[in-house]
Amino acid sequence: MIYMLKSWQINYSERTSKSIATFVMVLLCSRLVESMRKTYFNWSTGKDSALALKYLREREDLKVDRLITTINSVHDRVTMHGLRRELMLRQVEAIGLPLETIELPESPSMEDYDALMTKTVEGLMSAGYTDCGFGDIFLEDLRNYRESQLQGIQCHFPLWKKDTTELLHEFIDSGFKAVVICLNGELLDESFVGRSLDKDFLNDLPESVDPCGENGEFHTFCYDGPIFSHPVSFEQGDCVLRKYPKPGGGVDEYTGYWFLDLK
């Protein structure tokens, strides 16, 4: 009887110690989460966004729990990249974060864009967001514009000033997969449309083209990698050339962009 009592006391003590340890661990974890700053990420659907998002989600001081994407509401596609909305939604579902879209008109003026962005950011700040992230690498004027428009929000640029060749190698070596869906026809020929971002792609790029397309040479759709729960399936459709007026150019001066339709 005495032996059984002592055994019960030992087991009870062990159970109590484990319970206390578990409680302390849960408490510490909850306090850590509470101390993390609410962060949204400006999601473009491409390679730079994917790698930057990975960086920010690995930080212990930030809690990235929302994506923001701009949509051309007339064509129902992601701005700049031309990706269909439904494919972008499948991509975001595989990432597992809530999405908020900013619906833009066909050809918004800077005043229209700023007004829509301000309204969105004010709503995010009211919801407790204090930080945001971008995938920009070295365009100073773009960073300055973003920071000037986001007063009261701490902006993070995890890829800033990193070597773009090394970044693309890291992207590939980390297990990310992406395909080129848009390119500037004056800087790259049509044969690069639809190509996968791999080391052959990097080796084939002209020396004048930035390896990450940071000067607008090309855009991508990222469909697999460490931030995804599963690969995003898609099919390649038609490739079309669209012409847009050159900024500051003459009446008849246009730049041609190749777009690959993904379904």
The CATH number covering residue 199 comes to: 3.40.50
Q: Is residue 126, in this structure, part of any structural domain at all?
A: yes
Separation CA 39–CA 101 (nearest Å): 16
Q: Read off φ and ψ for residue 61, nearest 5 degrees.
A: -100, -5
Q: Read off φ and ψ for residue 201, nearest 5 degrees.
A: -60, -45
Q: Is residue 181, in this structure, part of any structural domain at all?
A: yes
Q: Model's pTM, two decimal places?
A: 0.85
Separation CA 124–CA 127 (nearest Å): 5
How many domains does the structure of the chain reveal? 1
Q: Is residue 4, in this structure, part of any structural domain at all?
A: no
pLDDT of residue 248: 66
Q: Is residue 117, in this structure, part of any structural domain at all?
A: yes
pLDDT of residue 14: 58
pLDDT of residue 231: 98
Q: Are 15 and 109 within 8 A, CB to CB?
A: no
pLDDT of residue 9: 54
Each of the 263 residues of the chain gets a pLDDT tens digit; together they read 544 445 545 554 555 555 544 443 433 334 444 579 999 999 999 999 999 999 999 999 999 999 999 999 999 999 989 999 999 999 999 999 999 999 999 888 999 999 999 999 999 999 999 999 999 999 999 999 999 999 899 999 999 999 999 999 999 999 999 999 999 999 999 999 999 999 999 999 999 999 999 999 999 999 999 999 999 999 999 999 998 887 766 656 788 999 999 99
pLDDT of residue 247: 72
First to last CA, the chain: 74
Q: Is residue 211, in this structure, part of any structural domain at all?
A: yes
Q: Is residue 20, in this structure, part of any structural domain at all?
A: no
Pairing assessment for the beta strands 62-72 and 77-78 based on DSSP bridges? antiparallel
pLDDT of residue 23: 43
Separation CA 261–CA 250 (nearest Å): 30
Separation CA 172–CA 197 (nearest Å): 7
Enclosing domain of residue 223: 35-262
Pairing assessment for the beta strands 37-42 and 62-72 based on DSSP bridges? parallel
Q: Is residue 256, in this structure, part of any structural domain at all?
A: yes
Q: Is residue 3, in this structure, part of any structural domain at all?
A: no
